[in-house]
Amino acid sequence: MRESELRLLMKAIHFAAGKHRAQTRKDVDSSPYINHPIAVAMTILDVGGVTNVATLAAAVLHDTVEDTETTHDELVREFGTEVANIVTEVTDDKTLSKQERKQRQIEHAKQLSRAAKHVKLGDKICNVTDVLHCPPAGWTDDRKHEYVEWAAKVVHEIRGTNTELEEHFDQLVAS
């Protein structure tokens, strides 16, 4: 990895940590939110062998537009068009209902760029891992099952992207 690429990745981690600093996950431990996007990047790197720095940076930044006051234009200024566009591809429209957002993820998954599909796979792996092993407080077994089934539908639409990530997801769901 070149120094400029390393700087971009570290800048993305620093930026995301600042944007998510006051946020926590919904698990019973209220884990720091930043752990999730870092885990997504680590998963696509370690499991999927993805080494493209723009993709890894986008993985770290993937929830900033959706869950903070970050804008697409801000990401373009800070990280360039390629990274910003990957983030935008995986960003849900929060003006829609939760059910509509979930359906759109299934419907639009095939249209994602390869980089965005990698981020989406990493996100689904990390979210399902959390739901199965450290679920949000108060989630019933039925709700966990529904989430896993929905995530599997999204992953089904992007199969053929990364065998290692897809097999990892399948093993996770089968356990």
pLDDT tens, 36-68? 999 999 999 999 999 999 999 999 999 999 999
pLDDT higher than threshold 90 for residue 96: yes
Q: State the residue range of the domain holding 147.
A: 3-174
Question: Model-level pTM?
Answer: 0.97
Residue 102's alpha-carbon distances to 10, 11, 54, in angstroms, are: 31, 30, 25
Nearest-angstrom CA–CA distance, 130 and 142 = 15
pLDDT, tens only, 129-151: 999 999 998 999 999 999 999 99
Nearest-angstrom CA–CA distance, 50 and 106 = 23
pLDDT value of residue 66: 95
Number of compact structural domains in the chain = 1
Q: Packing angle between helix 163-174 and helix 141-157, nearest 10 degrees? A: 160
Any idea which residues carry the catalytic annotation? 66-67
Q: What CATH number did the domain enclosing 104 receive? A: 1.10.3210.10
Determine the length of the chain.
175
Mean residue pLDDT of the chain comes to: 96
Nearest-angstrom CA–CA distance, 102 and 98 = 6
